[in-house]
Structure 1
Amino acid sequence: MPATPRPLTLPAPAKLNRMLHIVGRRQDGYHELQTLFQIIDLCDYLSFNLRQDGVIELTTSMDGVAHDDNLIVRAAKRLQQASGTHLGASISIEKHLPMGGGLGGGSSNAATVLKGLNQLWQLGLSDATLAELGLALGADVPVFVLGKSAWAEGVGEKLTPATLDTPWFVVIHPGISVSTPAIFQDPELTRDSLPITMARALQGGVAEWRNDCEATVKKRYPRIAEALDWLAQHAPSRLTGTGACLFAAFESQEAAQTVAELANQRWQAWVARGLNTSPLQDALGC
């Protein structure tokens, strides 16, 4: 009999939307976006144990999320069904990323499941296949599967790898949740930004980047507006996704750490490094 694979522990990194433009609205209600995803080194960690009985089990409970509704479980079952494998897995998570914070935690967890189980079950599926499976789980899953900072269009699924600067970030969570559907349904949301090319976005740089959701989120959520205004006193601040998290870039870890320590007196804050390649890629040797 072949040896049982050792338990596998892998990172599920966060992302920031360095910019987010909304350039239109489709007939199905989804919005056409242009965004720059940057991977950062703030991560959840998932551990996988092989099961021979085909059972998919998440052994870590998560408040407010039923077991079978969790993206971790849904991703594992989707891969199991698509591949036809009879193997299963017990999965646990060491959670660091705030739920609903705009950092892509759930989508990143799903991507790490797809890539981790692809290896544990020895399926040999390509990243392109895994990204296609992941898209049905969420528009942000493919960027985490492919594991590169990227220019994204469509609903965020049309990806082109991009090389971004890699500053140190202060990331703040103001301690509230944002309803993404409510933001995208708000009649005052900007939906008519002029489309630009990836080259224009990269050439224009930070000075031209913005988040079209930010004004609407600030109006609806005064605590986020307060945190954005506070962080802007130290460096240009921006919302990631629809929030609730926000961030600012700094040239040195020391400068970021100083601001994060001040922020932690009022909110939850982290220092994270910007990356162009996901630590998940590195962990899997991709």
Structure 2
Amino acid sequence: MSEGWSAWPAPAKLNLFLRITGRRADGYHELQTVFRLLDWGDRVWLRLRRDGRIERHGGSVPGVAAGDDLAVRAAELLRKEANVALGADIRIEKRIPAGGGFGGGSSDAATVLCVLDRLWGLGLGEDRLAALGRRLGAEVPVFGRGRGAGAEGVGGRLRPLSLPPAWYLLVDPGVHVPTAELFRAPDLTRNSSPATISDFIAGAVLDNAFEPVLRRREPAVEAAFAALAQVGTPRLTGSGGGCFVEFADRAGAEDALARLPRRLRAWIAAGVDESPLRAALAPRA
């Protein structure tokens, strides 16, 4: 990249389980989940502008107009709310597959908010940035705060959660079903019993409410689950088609990856308690 650009991580996430425990009077669903951040994801390039404009470069997200790009919207929202005269150039190196449930768009937005807060000299702090992020999407504050977390409600109640080391074998079946469409599915379970964190830690809670719906309607997701079942216990992340199997060490994940059919888009990543973005933003001694 040319002079003035800086590169920042935008890590992916997994939902280690996801339940719908009810529906509110306003129509929103009550969710319960655990977010696990990964050491792999997109890379966001940013460059300061003095003219107040927000410009996206390189067609950052295929098929997404600049005005709909969460990263651009994050920059515009921060500039407006903080009444900043500065602007920014944005370029995204996409590695996280769109619509897979790995949180790519939300993570890109969180990285833009957190880094521009620094580049523009705002110092808004974690809580104010999280509040802005929530206006862009329920998952943006998870990435902005940069820690694994349990979440309840419609995504606003986050509880930091430290998890044991783990490696994940990830598969993207290439399926992208709009989340709103899945929430309307008649066979979606909307009244699961709330889980306890102790049940989750003990391994008794691994389900995802969207898994049976997607497996029934999307052959590619069902095929990915069948392949992953040969090497472990497959799970779905979020409301996308992305699937994963958890392993205690890298060697186990790499061995499983080598045993998968080559036609699958598969790779491995490590779970982290602290986001690579949070580490990158930390003051250096």
TM-score by length of 1: 0.94
2:21 corresponds to = 23
What CA deviation, in whole Å up to 9, does each residue of 1:95-124 have, x standing for no partner?
A: 100011100000000000000100110100
Contact 1:8 1:116 in 2 (8 A): no
Q: Which amino acid aligns with 2:110?
A: A
Indicate yes or no: 2:251 matched with 1:266.
Answer: no
Match of 2:233 among 231, 236, 240: 236
Structure 1 portions without partners, runs of 5+: none
Indicate yes or no: 2:112 matched with 1:113.
Answer: yes
Q: Which amino acid aligns with 2:117?
A: N
What CA deviation, in whole Å up to 9, does each residue of 1:39-69 have, x standing for no partner?
A: 0111100111100000001112022111111
1:75 corresponds to = 74
2:40 corresponds to = 42
Separation in structure 2 between the aligned mates of residue 283 and residue 71 of structure 1, nearest angstrom: 21
Indicate yes or no: 2:240 matched with 1:249.
Answer: no
Deviation at 1:180, TM superposition (A): 1.4
Secondary structure at 1:211's aligned position in 2? coil
Contact 2:170 2:242 in 1 (8 A): yes
Indicate yes or no: 2:228 matched with 1:217.
Answer: no
Secondary structure at 1:273's aligned position in 2? strand
Separation in structure 2 between the aligned mates of residue 20 and residue 68 of structure 1, nearest angstrom: 30
What CA deviation, in whole Å up to 9, does each residue of 1:47-96 have, x standing for no partner?
A: 11100000001112022111111001000000000100100000111110
Contact 2:13 2:36 in 1 (8 A): yes
2:280 corresponds to = 283
User: Which deviates the most, 261-270 or 55-64?
Assistant: 261-270
Deviation at 1:279, TM superposition (A): 0.5
Contact 1:18 1:209 in 2 (8 A): yes
What CA deviation, in whole Å up to 9, does each residue of 1:187-221 have, x standing for no partner?
A: 1111111123434433xx32332111111111111
1:7 corresponds to = 5
Separation in structure 2 between the aligned mates of residue 232 and residue 213 of structure 1, nearest angstrom: 18
2:189 corresponds to = 190
Q: Which amino acid aligns with 1:45?
A: R
Separation in structure 1 between the aligned mates of residue 55 and residue 200 of structure 2, nearest angstrom: 43
Separation in structure 1 between the aligned mates of residue 111 and residue 41 of structure 2, nearest angstrom: 11
Separation in structure 1 between the aligned mates of residue 200 and residue 257 of structure 2, nearest angstrom: 28
Q: Which amino acid aligns with 2:31?
A: L
Structure 2 portions without partners, runs of 5+: none
Stretches of 4+ aligned residues off by more than 6 angstroms: none
Deviation at 1:183, TM superposition (A): 1.2
Secondary structure at 1:206's aligned position in 2? coil
Separation in structure 1 between the aligned mates of residue 274 and residue 58 of structure 2, nearest angstrom: 28
Separation in structure 2 between the aligned mates of residue 17 and residue 147 of structure 1, nearest angstrom: 15
Match of 1:53 among 51, 72, 86: 51
RMSD, aligned α-carbons: 1.5
Separation in structure 2 between the aligned mates of residue 105 and residue 191 of structure 1, nearest angstrom: 25
Separation in structure 2 between the aligned mates of residue 29 and residue 220 of structure 1, nearest angstrom: 24
Contact 1:8 1:120 in 2 (8 A): no
Contact 1:172 1:263 in 2 (8 A): no
Deviation at 1:8, TM superposition (A): 2.4
2:135 corresponds to = 136
Separation in structure 2 between the aligned mates of residue 263 and residue 183 of structure 1, nearest angstrom: 28
Q: Which amino acid aligns with 1:251?
A: A
Deviation at 1:6, TM superposition (A): 4.8
Separation in structure 2 between the aligned mates of residue 83 and residue 74 of structure 1, nearest angstrom: 14
1:155 corresponds to = 154
Contact 2:42 2:95 in 1 (8 A): yes
TM-score by length of 2: 0.94
5 Å-filtered alignment, 1:69-108, equals 69-108=68-107
Separation in structure 2 between the aligned mates of residue 239 and residue 189 of structure 1, nearest angstrom: 14
User: Which deviates the most, 255-264 or 124-133?
Assistant: 255-264
How many aligned residue pairs are there?
A: 280
Contact 2:206 2:235 in 1 (8 A): no
Q: Which amino acid aligns with 1:35?
A: T
